[in-house]
């Protein structure tokens, strides 16, 4: 007999030998072990209930019974009426709900509102029962009622009704609000390639940012104005400028690194703690901060801190001739930030104005840029 089909008993009795002599006439026992106060033994699982009854009839104190084996577990399972009822009910519910559609999924909507389709499908399905839903009829009704639908397929997958829509793509010229192409930069127009629309500028014009380049209409032979999406490639020389002021002699105030910090804690304006020190600096800068120590408004403790930084006046003497290359490069790098990778730099101009030891440096980069990029078309 396999060990895992046994039941383990743990009993407490005084005359165990007599008891076992009595038990063994009816049952076969295994692994009888005597421990300090208890006696443990095993019996075939199928005899366990009978033996338990026998022990209780003989007033034996049973400390523990452990059952091993599939048979006992199955037996116990079939006694769990609640679990069985739950499983049966669950299975019944599962099979019942298989017959219904609980969800409508709409795929492929860009311009059409999904909710609009969902509402339409709900209105045109008699019930959620799968057999009552005619998908082919629904497809035809959707196609007939929504002009923007090019093709549609309706399918029931699981508990979902899936509506897959392909929207019709209308030419831009047929719908939408048209906006003029406006200049994105200041510059001088060098090249125009008009596709459609009415030009407002010509080559050589100097334009400012925001100025209209192409209007969103064309005029036909009879003088009628027809709205169109303006399209054009307009290139211009755009100037990117950076400047800097250079002082040959300058007096600056610098921090020495020494500082004094004073702090106080207040509650409703009353000072409840302070750590104040005298400001011994002759020249100084001060910085004041206040923070709430608590996040609630019941006890608004405020921590105030004032920091005094000692300062001194420093005379700085610089030589423009020695530093000019560095300044030019710095300005060039600042201007190059605005240049895209594929844009051509057509020229660079640096001008320096001097007066009273002060130098004004201007750097201008000329680049060719498409200033009317894209279409003046707003998608509806």
Partner 1 sequence: MFNFFEEIKGQLRRVDKNLLSSYNMVNLSGTILYVEGHLGLTVLSPTVISFKIKKGRVEVEGENLFLSELSSNTLKIEGQIKRVEEF
Taking CA 81 as the corner, what is the angle to CA 75 and CA 83, rounded to the nearest 5 degrees? Answer: 95
Rounded CA gap, 267 and 2, in Å? 79
Structural contact between residues 189 and 205, judged by C-beta atoms closer than 8 angstroms: yes
> Partners of 187 in the beta sheet?
207, 238
Give min distance, CB of 46 to partner 1, in A. 16
Q: How far apart are the first and last CA of the chain?
A: 81
Alpha-carbon distances of 116 from 103, 120, 121, 126, 147, rounded to whole Å:
15, 6, 9, 18, 13
d(C-alpha 309, C-alpha 256), whole Å: 8
Tell the smallest beta-carbon distance from residue 158 to partner 1 (Å): 58
Report, in Å, the least distance between residue 35 CB and partner 1: 8
- Answer positive or negative: Cα dihedral of 28, 30, 36, 38: negative
Would you say 45 or 310 has its CB closer to partner 1?
A: 45
Q: Based on CB atoms, which residue is closest to partner 1, 42 or 242?
A: 42
- Which own/partner pairs from 147-150 qualify as long-range (CB within 8 Å, at least 24 positions apart)? 148/111, 148/112, 149/112
Contact between 243 and 363 under an 8 Å Cβ cutoff? The reply is: yes
Nearer to partner 1, 9 or 377 (CB): 9
Rounded to a whole number of angstroms, the minimum distance from the CB of residue 31 to partner 1 is 6
Identify which of residues 22 and 148 has a Cβ nearer to partner 1 in the complex: 22
Closest to partner 1 by CB, 18 or 103: 18
Which residues are bridge partners to 157 per DSSP? Answer: 160
Q: Give the C-alpha separation, 375 to 195, whole Å.
A: 10
- Cβ closest to partner 1, residue 41 vs residue 185: 41
Judged by beta carbon, residue 29 or residue 62, the one nearer partner 1 is 29
**Least distance from partner 1 to the Cβ atom of residue 70, Å:** 23
Instruction: For the CB of residue 62, give the shortest distance to partner 1 in the complex, in Å.
Output: 18
Backbone angles phi, psi at 84, to 5 degrees: -65, -45
Buried b (16+ CB within 10 A) or exposed e, 80-103: eeeeeeeeeeeeeeeeeeeeebee
Are 183 and 371 a contacting pair, CB within 8 Å?
A: yes
Nearer to partner 1, 22 or 73 (CB): 22
- Please state the closest distance from residue 39 (CB atom) to partner 1, in A: 8
C-beta of 91: minimal distance to partner 1 in Å?
45
Phi, psi for residue 300 in degrees, rounded to 5: -80, 75
Nearer to partner 1, 26 or 243 (CB): 26
Name the E strands within 171-300: 177-178, 181-182, 187-196, 198-199, 206-207, 212-215, 217-219, 225-227, 231-247, 249-267, 270-275, 284-292
Helix (H, G, I), strand (E, B) or coil at 254: strand
- What are the residues binding partner 1 (CB under 8 A)? 16-17, 20-21, 24-25, 28-34, 39, 41
Least Å distance, CB 15 to partner 1, is 10
Least distance in angstroms from the C-beta of 21 to partner 1: 4
């Amino acid at each position: 007999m396999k060990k895992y089909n046994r039941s383990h008993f743990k009993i407490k009795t005084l005359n165990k030998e007599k008891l076992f002599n009595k038990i063994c006439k009816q049952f076969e026992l295994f692994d009888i072990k005597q421990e300090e106060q208890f006696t443990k033994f095993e019996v075939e699982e199928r005899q366990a209930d009978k033996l338990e009854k026998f022990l209780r009839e003989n007033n034996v104190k049973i400390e523990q019974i452990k059952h091993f084996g599939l048979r006992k577990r199955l037996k116990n399972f079939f006694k769990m009426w609640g679990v069985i009822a739950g499983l049966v009910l669950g299975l019944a519910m599962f099979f019942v709900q298989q017959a219904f559609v609980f969800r409508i999924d709409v795929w492929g909507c860009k311009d059409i509102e999904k909710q609009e389709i969902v509402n339409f499908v709900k209105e045109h399905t008699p019930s959620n029962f799968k057999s009552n839903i005619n998908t082919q009829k629904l497809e035809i009704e959707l196609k007939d009622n929504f002009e923007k639908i090019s093709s549609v397929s309706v399918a029931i997958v699981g508990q979902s009704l899936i509506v897959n829509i392909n929207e019709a793509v209308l030419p831009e010229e047929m719908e939408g609000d048209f906006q003029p192409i406006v200049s994105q930069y200041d510059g001088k127009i060098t090249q125009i390639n008009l596709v459609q629309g009415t030009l407002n500028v010509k080559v050589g014009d100097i334009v400012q940012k925001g100025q209209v380049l192409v209007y969103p209409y064309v005029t036909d032979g009879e003088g009628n104005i027809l709205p169109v999406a303006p399209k054009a490639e307009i290139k211009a020389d755009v100037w990117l400028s950076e400047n800097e002021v250079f002082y040959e002699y300058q007096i600056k105030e610098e921090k020495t690194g020494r500082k004094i910090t004073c702090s106080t804690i207040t509650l409703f304006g009353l000072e409840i703690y302070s750590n104040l020190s005298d400001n011994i600096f002759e020249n100084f800068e001060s910085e004041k901060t206040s923070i709430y120590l608590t996040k609630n408004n019941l006890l608004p403790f405020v921590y105030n801190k004032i920091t005094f930084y000692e300062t001194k006046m420093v005379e700085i003497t610089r030589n423009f001739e020695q530093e000019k290359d560095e300044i030019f490069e710095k300005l060039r790098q600042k201007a190059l930030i605005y240049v895209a990778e594929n844009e051509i730099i057509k020229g660079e101009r640096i001008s320096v104005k001097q007066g009273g030891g002060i130098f004004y440096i201007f750097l201008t980069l000329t680049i060719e840029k498409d200033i009317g990029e894209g279409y003046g078309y707003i998608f509806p």
